[in-house]
Amino acid sequence: MNTLKKYFTLIQERPEMFINKGDKGEIKIITDENRIRAEQKKIRATFKKEGKPTSWIDIGVLAEDEWFYILRDMVEFPDGRVGGYTRWINRKSEEGGGFNSVLICIQSDKILMIRKFRHEERNWSWEFPRGFGEPGLSAEKNARVELYEEIGVSNAKLTCLTKVKEGKGGTAVFLVEIPNGQKITLETQEGIAKYRWVKMANLEQIVKKGQLSDWFSLWAYTLYEIM
């Protein structure tokens, strides 16, 4: 099944992923097959003339696995321009109702940071524990699973700071109060190398210096600051 055929199958199965609300300034997804092919033909001719790969305007399901779809839609921008626009969709949240977790772990006056290798960036990142959610579990149960898998903690107090919907699931940020003396045991299979406890008074400077660059962690930090 080619990328475009998969795409139209997905439109039939998951129409909510292709909704156009008609609002002013909206980027409209073009779902008419004839128009997609006509616009694609014109753009391919332009790319070829400019020496660019014509595959850059391949429309459809570019890749998929159990976690994500990567789509390139043909869209119409608010100024009338037409072109391809790529997006990735978290299947666990959209289809199964899984809740991703971001965990801001505290112990007395300290916050836990882990050093994790991020494959998408091919680099290490100091951040807060976080992970994808599994369908069928509540946001808190997913958070507890992630907490145990990444740092080996099962007896912490969890408080939900926010929950953002995404399809049937979403992402939740939790404040995790870890008992004093609790041992941290790192999961190593997903590239977690070490951890450190940072005093809350020092975390602001870490953020200002750009040393906390993970956007999910920055989101959790902001929520914690305005509690």
Confidence bin at 187 (pLDDT 50/70/90): confident
- List the one residue out of 168, 60, 153, 37 whose CA is nearest residue 103: 153
The pTM for the full model equals: 0.84
Q: Which residues are within 8 A (CB) of 23 and not within 5 positions of it... i.e. 6 or more apart?
A: none
* pLDDT for the residue numbered 96: 75
Domain 99-225 has CATH 3.90.950.10: no
* pLDDT for the residue numbered 90: 87
Coil, strand, or helix at residue 154?
coil
- List the one residue out of 151, 166, 164 whose CA is nearest residue 104: 151
Quick: pLDDT tens for 214-223. Answer: 999 999 999 9
Which DSSP category does 56 fall into? Answer: G
Each domain of the chain, given as residue ranges in start order, spans 3-94, 99-225
- List the one residue out of 63, 13, 214, 44 whose CA is nearest residue 126: 214
Confidence bin at 146 (pLDDT 50/70/90): very high
pLDDT of 53 above 60: yes
